[in-house]
């Protein structure tokens, strides 16, 4: 029998609400908003309350997918990155960097998001960057 409550931070938006994930015998079974967190004081929005449902959801993507002939197929990272890079080059070369847009994510760390926007702005040359927390 193993029941633990792991303190962590919500990945849905930039607020940084704290909660405990209830883990029973290796399975995440619940979300408990942290009452002593100065950020959210034991409160959460509906997305935060349901974090435990996505963590181990079988529908969650664990491998990159590439659409081939209208079908999404699993690919390895090497292939996915090569494909993305060549497409980005092709589109930027043909229609200019502003024909591309980049969508970052609150599920990335601060540093990862920094690199991502740097890649968009300095690497590709567009200011078309936004992120999923603008809901």
Partner 1 sequence: MIETVKAKAKELLESGNIQGFLGLIEKNGHIAPHLFTDPVELQALNLGDREKAGDARYPLTKYLIQIAKAHPEHIFGILVRGCDERSLKTLYNWNQLDPNQVVPLGFACPEELAEACECLQPYPDACEAGEKVSGRSFEGVAKLDAMERGERFDYWNEQFSKCIKCYGCRDVCPVCFCNECSLASDDLIQTKTFPPETPLFHLVRAVHMAGRCVDCGLCEQACPVGIPLRTLYKKIYAIMDSEFDYQMGYSEEKSPLNLL
Does residue 120 belong to the site contacting partner 1 (CB under 8 A)?
A: no
Q: Closest distance between partner 1 and the C-beta of residue 59, in Å?
A: 19
- Among 9, 11, 13, 22, which residue interacts with partner 1 (rule: CB under 8 A)? 22
Q: What are phi and psi of 68, to 5 degrees?
A: -125, 125
- Binding-site member from 1, 61, 122, 135 for partner 1 (CB under 8 A): 1
What single-letter DSSP state applies at residue 101?
Answer: -
Buried b (16+ CB within 10 A) or exposed e, 66-87: eeeeeeeeebeeeeeeeeeeee
Site string for partner 1, 23-62 (x = CB under 8 A): -xx---xx-xxxxxx----xxxxx--x-------------
Report the run of H or E that residue 74 belongs to, with start and end.
strand 71-74
Angle, alpha carbons 7-13-17 (nearest 5°)? 30
Our finding on whether 133 is near partner 1 (CB under 8 A) is: no
Q: Which residues contact partner 1 by CB under 8 A?
A: 1, 3-5, 7, 18, 20, 22, 24-25, 29-30, 32-37, 42-46, 49
């Amino acid at each position: 029998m193993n029941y633990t409550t792991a303190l962590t931070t919500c990945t849905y938006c930039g607020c940084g609400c704290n909660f405990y994930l209830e883990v029973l015998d290796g399975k995440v079974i619940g979300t408990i908003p942290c009452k002593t967190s100065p950020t959210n004081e034991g409160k959460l929005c509906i997305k935060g309350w349901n974090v435990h449902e996505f963590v181990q959801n079988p529908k969650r993507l664990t491998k990159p997918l590439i659409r081939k002939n209208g079908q999404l197929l699993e690919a390895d990272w090497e292939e996915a990155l090569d494909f993305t890079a060549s497409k980005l080059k092709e589109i930027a070369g043909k229609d200019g960097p502003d024909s591309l847009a980049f969508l970052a994510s609150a599920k990335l760390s601060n540093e990862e998001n920094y690199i991502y926007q740097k890649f968009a702005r300095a690497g590709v040359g567009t200011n078309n960057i936004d992120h999923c927390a603008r809901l």
